[in-house]
Structure 1
Amino acid sequence: MSTHGHGKGPRLIAGEPLSEEGSPYETSLGGWFRLRESGDPVLLTVEHRLGPPVLPPAPSGLTMGGGLVPQPPPYSRGEDGIVDRRHEGRWLRHVTTQTRVAQVVATEARQWSPSGLLDACIAAPVDPAERGTGEYPPVSWVPRVAAPRVGSTVMKYTSRGGLHRGRIISVGEDGQEVLVTATDDRHFSVSGEPGALLIDLEARAAVALYLGDVYMRGVNERQWAVLWSARPLPLLMESFRLAPF
C-alpha cells in the first residue's frame, strides 16, 4: 500500500491483498484501469478467489420449513457474457487494514473455469479521487498494455509473495490462455496471488492476469507437472471495455 495517504486513506497499488467481505479467500489487486465510456476508475482482479459461488434460490422462494425467503434479483447479462452484479452489494476489503475499498460492478464468474472463460472482475473504488493509482512496484515505470508473447520473461509482484519471475511458454491458439513456467527453482506463485498482473520485462508492458496453478499439461511435446495459468490482458480489457489508467 502506498505510504502517501490522502483523505480517507492510502491509495491502493498493484499487488495489494484483497478479499470479498464475508469470504475467507484472498486475492491480489491486479491493476487500475478506466471504463472507456465514463472514464471512471476500476480495479481488476480474478473472480474465483473472491467468495463461494452464489447458490440458486430455493424453488418458489420456500425453505425446507416452508417459510418464505428473499429472492435475489436475476443477473443482467450484457454483451460478452459479462454479469452486472452491482445490486448484490459485493464489497472488497484490503486484507491487512480490513478497510472497505471497492464494490464489484461487473464479473465473469465461472468457478474452476477451464481455458476460454474469463474468470475476472472489475470493482469501483469507494473513493474514486483517492484510491486509484498507476503505480506498479517494484518497476520504476508505468507499464503499457500489450499482447503476451511466447518466450518473453515476465514478472509478478504482490505484497504477500514479493517478486517472482517466469517465462511464457504457451499462448493458446484461441488467444485466451497464457501458460508460464518458473525460471528458477522456486514456484512462480504463493497462496493469495491470483489476480496479480504479469509484466513483460522486455516489452515493459502488462500482458496478462494471473489465475493460478495448472497441472499435468502438455506443451511443445513435453508433459509439465505444474505450470501457471493467466488470461491475456488485452482480452480482458476488450471484454470489460477498459482503457489504461
Structure 2
Amino acid sequence: MSVGSAWAAAPAVVVTGASQGIGAAIAERFATCVPGVRLALVARDRQRLEAVAARCASTGAQAIVLSADLLETAQVERMAGQVLSSFGSVDVLVNNAGRWRGGAVHEMSVGDFALTLQENLVSMFAVTRAFLPAMLARGRGDLFFVSSTSGLEGLANNAAYCAAKHGVAGLAKAVRAELAGRGLRVCCVYPGATDTPTWDGSGVDRASLIAASDVAQMIVEAHRLSGRSMLEELILRPVAGR
C-alpha cells in the first residue's frame, strides 16, 4: 500500500481547542492509538498548535494546524472548508474548545455572561453546523461534545460557566435526537476538575485533579467501539482523597 492510500484509509479527526490541556491530550491519544490518523488541530494559538502537531507527527500521524477564532462564523466556515479540502471527509469531530470564566451573578457583567456562552456553547454550535452536512452525506462518524460536571450541577460563583456547559449537554442531546438512524454517533463528555493550564497559579494540588490523558483515553475508546454501540454520555470525576 502506498503512503497516499494509507492516509486516505485512515480516519480524519478534528479537535478544537487542541493547543493545550484536554484538546492537546485528545490529539496526542488519537495519534498514539489510531495508526495513520489524520488530525486537524484547531485553536487560536498557532505556535502551541504547531508544538502539539509535532508531537503527534512523531508517532506517525498526519497533523495539520488551523488557527481560527471560533467566535467568528466566517473563520469557522473557512476552517471547515480547509479541513474538508485537505481530508475529503471527517470521521470524528471533537468539540472541545471553551474557556472557564467565573464570577458571582451580581458581580459579573451581562457582557461577560454572554461572552462565556459564546466561547463555550455558541462556538460549538457553529463548528457542528459547519461539519455536519458532510458527515451526514457520508452517513457515519462520531461527534463528541466536551461539557463539564458543571453541566450537571450548579456551582456558586460559576453561573455563566454552568449555564454554558448545561447548554452544551442540551445541544448534544438535541443533535443526537436529530441524527437518530442516520449513522452518526453523539457522545457528551463531562470531565470534572482536570489538570490543565487553567489551574496555573491557583495553588490547587494538581495531583487531586483528573489527568487530561484520562479524558482523552475515554474519548478515543468511545470512538473505537464497534459500529453496533454508542456511548451517549461519559462522566469523569476526581477520586476523593487522592
Shorter chain as denominator, the TM-score bin is under 0.3
Structure number with the higher helix fraction is 2
Q: Normalising by the residue count of structure 1, what TM-score does the alignment of the two structures yield?
A: 0.25
TM norm structure 2: 0.26
Greater RCO, CA 8 A, separation 6+: 1
